[in-house]
């Protein structure tokens, strides 16, 4: 009889302490993984903006080669050839020295745009550059 009682006690589930230790370990792992995931997401959004800016700059340069002038409005470019990622807005500015593209991600940090300036040599540091001139149009969803 005593053997049966001892056997039942050994077959009981986890103790409360064991469950709390497992929950604490899961919480620690989540606290480590969530910030890393968010940083990777921001990096992917920045990469999408930079890629779209380079593609759009190639389209503007193609227009220049054909017409010997930069487009005065975004509508001058063929709509199907300018591809932007979902949530990426690209504003186009004409300047005396060339053109400037300002890319922002509405899903990301819209206050930190990326700038592609033709006179400045291409993609610029987003913290130090802004587009000047007159805005001619914008692309995006």
Check residue 73 and give its pLDDT. Answer: 59
Check residue 86 and give its pLDDT. Answer: 75
When pLDDT is cut at 50, 70 and 90, the band that residue 110 belongs to is low
- pLDDT > 50? residue 107: yes
Distances (CA, A) of 84 to 30, 129, 138: 33, 21, 11
Check residue 4 and give its pLDDT. Answer: 64
Q: What is the pLDDT of residues 55-76, one digit of tens each?
A: 888 888 888 888 888 877 555 5
- Exposed/middle/buried for 9, CB within 10 Å: 0-12, 13-18, 19+? exposed
- pLDDT > 80? residue 120: no
Residue-number span of the structural domain to which 116 is assigned? 2-139
Q: What is the pLDDT of residues 21-42, one digit of tens each?
A: 999 999 999 999 998 888 888 7
Compute the average pLDDT of residues 107-136: 68
Looking at the structure of the chain, the number of domains it has is: 1
Q: What is the pTM of this model?
A: 0.65
Check residue 81 and give its pLDDT. Answer: 36
DSSP letters for the chain? -HHHHHHHHHTS---HHHHHHHHHHHHHHHHHHHHHHHHHHHHHHHHHHHHHHHHHHHHHHHHHHHHSS--SSGGGS-GGG----TTEEEEEEEETTEEEEEEEETTS-TTS-EEEETTTTEEE-TTT----SEEEEEE--
Asked whether the beta carbons of 51 and 119 are under 8 A apart, the reply is: no
């Amino acid at each position: 009889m005593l053997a049966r009682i001892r056997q039942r006690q050994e077959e009981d589930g986890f103790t409360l302490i064991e469950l709390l230790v497992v929950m604490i370990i899961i919480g620690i792992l989540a606290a480590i993984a969530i910030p890393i995931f968010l940083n990777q997401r921001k990096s992917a959004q920045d990469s999408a903006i930079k890629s779209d800016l380079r593609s759009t700059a190639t389209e503007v340069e193609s227009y220049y080669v054909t017409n010997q002038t930069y487009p005065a409005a975004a509508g001058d470019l063929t709509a199907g050839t300018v591809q932007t990622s979902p949530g990426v807005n690209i504003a186009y500015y004409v300047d005396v020295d060339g053109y400037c593209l300002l890319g922002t991600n509405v899903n990301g940090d819209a206050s930190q745009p990326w700038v592609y300036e033709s006179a400045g040599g291409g993609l610029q540091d987003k913290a130090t550059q802004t587009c000047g001139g007159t805005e001619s149009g914008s692309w995006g969803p």
